[in-house]
Amino acid sequence: MEDTTRFKRFLKEKNLPTPWCPGCGNGIILKSTCDAFDELNLDTDKTVVVSGIGCSGRSAGFFNLDSVHTAHGRAIPMAEGIKIANENLHVVVLSGDGDLLGIGGNHLLHASRRNTPITIICFSNEIYGMTGGQVSPTSKQGAKTITTPDGCKDTPINVQALIKAHNCFYARTTTFHLKHLKKCIVEALRHPGLAFVDVICQCIVNNGRRIGFKDGYDMLMHYKNTYKINENADLLKEGEIGITKVGVVK
C-alpha cells in the first residue's frame, strides 16, 4: 500500500488539531503545502515558513521546521529579510488575502518589483475571516459581508495583473482541485524568483454560510463547477485556474 501520509513529517502533530472551524479550507492548503514539500524532498533545516495575522496566519505554527508568526501584513518583508540573511533557504509565506493584499499590499508591490526569490501562498477566502467577516481586497463586487450589507461596491484587487506586471510567477487554484493545488505549489517552489500562488479557499463560518452555502462541501462543489483549468495561459480569465506563463507582461 502506497504511503499517502509522508507529508506529515513536515507537521508538528502535537499541535493538531488546528483551531480552524469545521469545514474550513485552510487545512487543505496546509496539507497540500506539506505534500509539495515532500514531493520536492525539501530539507527541513533549509526551509522556513512565515505567516502574518489572520486565521490563515496560524499556519506557520503547525510546521515541523523553523517558522515565524509575524505582525499583521508583514509576512513578506520578514520573508525577504530571512532570504537576504541566508539565500540558501527556501522561504515560504503562507497568509491571508487581507494580510497579503490589504494591510500588506505595499510589501507585495515592492517584493514583486524586486523579484525576491520567495514563495507566497495566499489563502484567498475573499473575507477577513478571523475578525468576523469584514470585506477584503479580494471580495467580489456585490459580495455581502458584515461591513458591506448592501453588497461590495469596489473592484477586487487584480493580483494577477500586479504580479505579472513585474514578471513574477502567478498561479491560481482552489481547494477542490487538489492535484492542481499541489502542482501549483511545487512549480512555485521550483521557480527561481518570486512566486505567488492564489488559492481560492472556503471560509464557511464567516463568509460562506452568510451567502447561502450549506457547508464546506457545498463551497468545494461550487469551486468544482465554477473553475476550469487552463494550463499554459498568458493570463487567466475569470473562472479559470492555472499556472500562467512567466514573462508575459500585459
239 CB contacts (<8 Å, ≥6 apart)?
226, 227, 228
Binds ligand SF4 (CB under 6 A): choice among 49, 204, 219, 243 = 204
Judged by CB under 6 A, the stretch of 65-73, 125-133, 188-196, 240-248 that binds ligand SF4 is: 125-133
Closest CA relative to residue 206, chosen from 151, 135, 157: 135
133 contact choice in another protein, ligand TPP, Mg ion, none (CB below 5 to 8 Å, kind-dependent): none
Torsion over CA: 70, 111, 175, 62 (sign): negative
x/- letters, 22..61, toward another protein (CB under 8 A)? xxxxxxx--x------------------------------
Q: Cell 499541489 belongs to which residue? A: 182
Binding site for Mg ion (CB under 5 A): 96-98, 125, 129
| C-alpha–C-alpha distance, residues 146 and 4, integer Å | 40
Yes or no: say if 74 and 57 are a contact pair by the CB < 8 Å rule. Answer: no
C-alpha cell at 243: 499556472
Q: Give the burial string for 56-76 (b: 16+ CB within 10 Å, else e).
A: bbbbbebbbbebbbbebbbbb
99 contact choice in another protein, Mg ion, ligand TPP, none (CB below 5 to 8 Å, kind-dependent): ligand TPP
Yes or no: say if 35 and 182 are a contact pair by the CB < 8 Å rule. Answer: yes
Binds ligand SF4 (CB under 6 A): choice among 138, 145, 206, 244 = 206
Element (H, E) at 82: helix 75-85
x/- letters, 163..182, toward another protein (CB under 8 A)? ---------------x----
| 224 or 237: CB nearest another protein | 224
DSSP label at residue 8: G
Judged by CB under 6 A, the stretch of 123-131, 141-149, 192-200, 230-238 that binds ligand TPP is: 123-131
Q: Write the single-letter amino acid at 67.
A: S
Task: Give the total of residues touching ligand TPP (CB under 6 A).
Answer: 18
C-alpha cell at 106: 505595499
| 217 or 249: CB nearest another protein | 217
**Residues at the contact surface with another protein, assessed by CB under 8 A:** 1, 4-5, 8, 11, 16-18, 20-28, 31, 178, 215-217, 220
**Residues at the contact surface with ligand SF4, assessed by CB under 6 A:** 20-21, 24, 26, 55, 125, 129-130, 203-206
